[in-house]
């Protein structure tokens, strides 16, 4: 069936201009194997083509192809990156690959292909956020991102000179979703994919919600203020205008703006339709569920190997990496690997060695190690038939605290003992169940004075908050802190852990934030040149939130009965961390995390359409004894 349009083509081989910063999330870290690749080398060895590739429904997608000049003499694999963030710069300018680790793929002779996805920038058609996968396509009008990937790959294999008949796909964040769709295209040439920090489930744990709690700061900042959600009435090479906040103090801006309808009003003024869609789906309904690509992981073909990559401190899509890997592992029959490093969102793909995040140091260049030992060998093996993947284990995981890579036959590891750590009166934390007949701690959660997610004044959400010092929170009366004594031995945790709280509220709803913290010794320091006081540092190892109404089901919210003791139990994302001898383990409990997460009115009402007057205080008790002993359940590695 010949439904593809012939492309229009322009060829360029000149210098570059710098692309927009979001493109950096899709570019990769510096590689020592390609240190001699500079702009001059690249211009001498590659040409740039811009073309349109027709899809089965006659919509054309704008595509930039960077081709080796020796493609008439040698055969090269194709590496596809599909993006909603623009494959700019357009025209004669180049993406500055020589400043990124993608230059390693240029040295290896890959044909690098960037494509604006349907409905974005210079590609035709209508854009749909996380367009649902259609497993039952019957006509040329039945399209999704998998079919667009298939049609793109098929055209490239048939028309790009010098390709070896094999293709791979790579992408981070939103690009991780499109990478998974490329795998689900099931094109016979698609032999390897690497979804990195992939979007999977926007209600349970990725980007937009965590356990039903709305991630206000990221979503308003991205869709409305930055303008990702702005309409695109015609093809364009430019971003839409950004919306300027009236103050650089994000906490003050989000608090004073008020309830969510005030943000919706700004979204309406900016004509951001997707914001209104979010506001119409407060619960985990079919609209959200069909956008969860993990549901279709079993359709990944056996000839397409996968390498799923995630960051321990990824604020956006830590959940996506962990759970997509698990879905592929349990549903598909392909070769599947997992990498979990000490990184923020996309840090393995950004400039720098990856040897620290904020104040926490990791002791080595984790980006470079990953690049040289995992990713490039993975693609070289499956797309070029070179080298081996024998040294790439099932799971390659960096354990913070001890600062070592572990090569593991499975993730989570098999030798795990789930161990309860109990909250106790007086701020104690113990591996022994409490003996008191009745005990509790209480605090007042006041939406007018929500607990900040980090210390200081910031305009944008910080990238390092996931391992930030929590001492600022420990001083607040609306944060409960529980702490062990100094550990007498190292304790290593590997995998997800569970918060099991017994609580009562004076109202009908509340949020519950649980934070697992590594408290450094008072005399700790990395060196005499530390710029931050590390003695007594309270390092956030993992924190997450549960919107209380979803404690039993994300689809069927339930009100709390005021003053009735109720269990709130939820699983937090996987950790890989060693609490060193002499350190302490701390747990903090609170009911707001602002403005990272929107405020809960603490009443069982429609939060997305609440009024400022609906926000009320709640007296919250956390129970610590008998059958109601609150605890966290840790995955202790034997």
CA distance 561 to 505: 8
CA distance 603 to 617: 10
Ranges in the chain annotated CATH 2.60.120.260? 416-637
Instruction: Give the 3-state secondary structure of residue 426.
Output: helix
pLDDT at 26 over 80: no
More confident residue, 29 or 200: 200
Instruction: Give the 3-state secondary structure of residue 87.
Output: coil
- Residue 37: pLDDT band (50, 70, 90) is confident
Q: Which two tokens stand for residue 69?
A: 């000049």
Q: Rounded to 5 degrees, what are φ and ψ at 432?
A: -105, 135
CA distance 164 to 191: 12
- In what helix (H) or strand (E) does residue 213 lie, and over which residues does it extend? strand 213-214
DSSP-assigned letters across all residues of 574-594? EEEEEE-TT-EEEEEEES--B
Contact 288, 498 (CB under 8 A): no
pLDDT digits (tens, 9 = 90+) for 222-281: 999 999 999 999 999 999 999 999 999 999 999 999 999 999 999 999 999 999 999 999
Q: Rounded to 5 degrees, what are φ and ψ at 552?
A: -110, -20
What end-to-end distance do the CA atoms of the chain give, in Å? Answer: 58
Q: Rounded to an integer, what is the distance from CA 463 to the centroid of its chain?
A: 12
Average pLDDT over residues 323-335: 98
* pLDDT for residue 98: 86
Nearest one of 168, 175, 178, 151 to 293, comparing CA atoms = 178
Contact 83, 175 (CB under 8 A): yes
Average pLDDT over residues 475-499: 98
pLDDT digits (tens, 9 = 90+) for 370-394: 989 999 999 999 999 999 999 999 9
Contact 314, 466 (CB under 8 A): yes
Ranges in the chain annotated CATH 3.40.50.1820? 9-201+291-408
Biggest CA-to-CA distance, the chain: 81
- In what helix (H) or strand (E) does residue 99 lie, and over which residues does it extend? none
* pLDDT for residue 32: 37
pLDDT, averaged across the chain: 93
Q: Which two tokens stand for residue 591?
A: 């009911």
More confident residue, 363 or 7: 363
Instruction: Give the 3-state secondary structure of residue 186.
Output: coil
Quote the strand ranges of 400-467, DSSP E: 404-408, 416-424, 428-430, 440-445
- Residue 28: pLDDT band (50, 70, 90) is very low
Q: Which two tokens stand for residue 157?
A: 């294999």
Q: Which residue has tokens 């926007």? A: 202
User: What number of H helices and E strands is found in the chain?
Assistant: 13, 27
* pLDDT for residue 34: 40
CA torsion, ordered 370, 526, 428, 569, to nearest 10 deg: -20
CA distance 1 to 174: 31
CA distance 577 to 202: 26
CATH number for the domain running over 9-201+291-408: 3.40.50.1820
- Cβ neighbours of residue 65 under 8 Å, at least 6 residues apart? 48, 49, 50, 51, 111, 112, 113, 156, 160
- Cβ neighbours of residue 595 under 8 Å, at least 6 residues apart? 216, 217, 250, 251, 253, 254, 255, 450, 453
Q: What predicted TM-score, i.e. pTM, was given to this entire model?
A: 0.94
* pLDDT for residue 617: 98
Contact 322, 209 (CB under 8 A): no
Q: Which two tokens stand for residue 484?
A: 């062990």
DSSP-assigned letters across all residues of 308-340? EEEETT-TTTHHHHHHHHHHHHHH--S-EEEEE
DSSP-assigned letters across all residues of 376-417? HHHHIIIII--S-STTS-SEEEEEBTTTEEEEESSSS-SSEE
Contact 288, 206 (CB under 8 A): no
- Residue 24: pLDDT band (50, 70, 90) is very low
Q: Which two tokens stand for residue 344?
A: 């923020």
CA distance 455 to 465: 9
* pLDDT for residue 373: 95
- In what helix (H) or strand (E) does residue 253 lie, and over which residues does it extend? helix 250-257
* pLDDT for residue 385: 97
CATH number for the domain running over 416-637: 2.60.120.260
Q: Which two tokens stand for residue 268?
A: 């309406």
Q: Which two tokens stand for residue 354?
A: 């990856």
pLDDT at 7 over 90: no
Nearest one of 575, 616, 424, 400 to 493, comparing CA atoms = 575
- Residue 11: pLDDT band (50, 70, 90) is very low
Average pLDDT over residues 95-103: 85
Average pLDDT over residues 15-39: 45
CA distance 96 to 86: 14
Neighbours of 638 (CB within 10 A): 9
* pLDDT for residue 27: 42
What's 373's DSSP letter? Answer: I
CA distance 494 to 466: 17
Q: Which two tokens stand for residue 199?
A: 């979007």
pLDDT at 6 over 50: no
Sign of CA dihedral 316, 322, 326, 328: positive
What's 110's DSSP letter? Answer: -
* pLDDT for residue 437: 81
- Residue 101: pLDDT band (50, 70, 90) is confident
- In what helix (H) or strand (E) does residue 479 lie, and over which residues does it extend? none
pLDDT at 29 over 70: no
Asked if residue 26 has a cis previous peptide bond (ω within 30° of 0), the answer is no
CATH fold of the domain at 209-288: alpha-amino acid ester hydrolase ( Helical cap domain) (1.10.3020)
CA distance 308 to 341: 11
CB burial readout 254-291, b (16+ within 10 A) else e = bbebebbeebbeebeebebebbeebbeebebeeebeeb
Ranges in the chain annotated CATH 1.10.3020.10? 209-288
Average pLDDT over residues 459-487: 97
* pLDDT for residue 2: 31
* pLDDT for residue 352: 84
CA distance 252 to 495: 36
Q: Which residue has tokens 């320091």? A: 525
């Amino acid at each position: 069936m010949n439904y593809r349009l012939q492309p229009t083509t322009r060829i360029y081989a000149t210098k570059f201009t710098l692309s927009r910063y979001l493109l950096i999330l899709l570019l990769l870290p510096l590689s020592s194997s390609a240190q001699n690749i500079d702009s001059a080398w690249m211009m001498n060895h590659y040409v740039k083509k811009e073309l349109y590739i027709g899809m089965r429904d006659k919509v054309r997608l704008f595509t930039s192809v960077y081709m080796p000049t020796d493609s008439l003499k040698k055969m090269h694999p194709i590496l596809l990156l599909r993006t909603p963030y623009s494959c700019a710069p357009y025209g004669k300018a180049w993406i500055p690959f020589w400043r990124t680790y993608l230059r390693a793929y240029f040295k290896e002779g890959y044909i690098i292909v960037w494509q604006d996805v349907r409905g974005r920038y210079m590609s035709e058609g209508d854009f749909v956020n996380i367009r649902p996968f259609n497993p039952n396509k019957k006509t040329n009008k039945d399209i999704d991102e998998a079919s667009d990937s298939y049609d793109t790959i098929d055209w490239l294999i048939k028309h790009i000179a010098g390709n070896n008949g094999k293709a791979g796909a790579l992408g981070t964040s939103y690009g991780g979703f499109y990478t998974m769709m490329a795998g689900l295209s099931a094109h016979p040439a698609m032999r390897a994919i690497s979804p990195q920090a992939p979007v999977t489930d926007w209600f349970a744990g990725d980007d937009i919600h965590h356990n039903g709690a709305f991630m206000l700061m990221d979503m308003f900042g991205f869709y409305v203020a930055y303008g990702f959600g702005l309409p695109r009435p015609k093809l364009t090479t430019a971003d839409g205008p950004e919306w300027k906040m009236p103050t650089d103090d994000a906490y003050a801006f989000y608090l004073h703006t008020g309830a969510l309808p005030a943000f919706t009003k700004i979204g309406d003024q900016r004509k951001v339709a997707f914001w209104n869609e979010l506001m119409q789906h407060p619960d985990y309904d079919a609209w959200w569920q069909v956008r969860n690509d993990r549901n279709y992981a079993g359709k990944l073909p056996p000839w397409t190997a996968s390498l799923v990559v995630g960051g321990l401190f990824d604020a956006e899509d830590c959940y996506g990496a962990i759970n997509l890997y698990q879905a592929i592992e349990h549903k598909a029959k392909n070769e599947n690997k997992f990498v979990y490093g000490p990184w923020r969102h996309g840090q393995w793909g950004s400039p720098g060695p990856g040897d620290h995040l904020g104040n926490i140091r990791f002791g080595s260049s984790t980006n470079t190690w990953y690049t040289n030992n995992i990713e490039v060998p993975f693609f070289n093996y499956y797309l070029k038939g070179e080298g081996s993947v024998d040294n790439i284990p099932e799971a390659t995981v960096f354990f913070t605290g001890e600062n070592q890579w572990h090569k593991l036959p499975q993730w989570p590891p098999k030798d795990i003992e789930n161990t309860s750590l109990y909250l106790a009166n007086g701020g104690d934390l113990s591996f022994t169940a409490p003996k008191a007949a009745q005990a509790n701690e209480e605090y007042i959660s006041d939406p007018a004075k929500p607990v900040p997610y980090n210390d200081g004044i910031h305009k944008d959400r910080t990238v390092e908050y996931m391992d930030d010092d929590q001492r600022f929170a420990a001083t607040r009366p609306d944060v409960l802190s529980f702490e062990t004594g100094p550990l007498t031995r190292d304790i290593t945790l590997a995998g997800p852990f569970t918060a099991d709280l017994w609580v009562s509220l004076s109202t009908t709803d509340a949020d519950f934030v649980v934070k697992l913290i590594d408290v450094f010794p008072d005399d700790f320091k990395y060196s005499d040149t530390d710029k931050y006081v590390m003695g007594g540092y309270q390092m956030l190892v993992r924190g997450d939130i549960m919107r209380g109404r979803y404690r039993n089901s994300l689809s069927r919210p339930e009100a709390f009965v005021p003053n009735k003791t109720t269990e709130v139990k939820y699983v937090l994302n996987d950790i890989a961390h060693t609490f060193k001898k002499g350190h302490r383990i701390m747990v903090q409990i609170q009911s707001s995390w602002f403005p990272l997460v929107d405020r809960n009115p603490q009443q069982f009402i429609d939060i997305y359409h609440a009024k400022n007057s609906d926000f009320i205080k709640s007296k919250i008790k956390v129970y610590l004894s008998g059958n109601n002993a609150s605890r966290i359940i840790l995955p202790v590695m034997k």
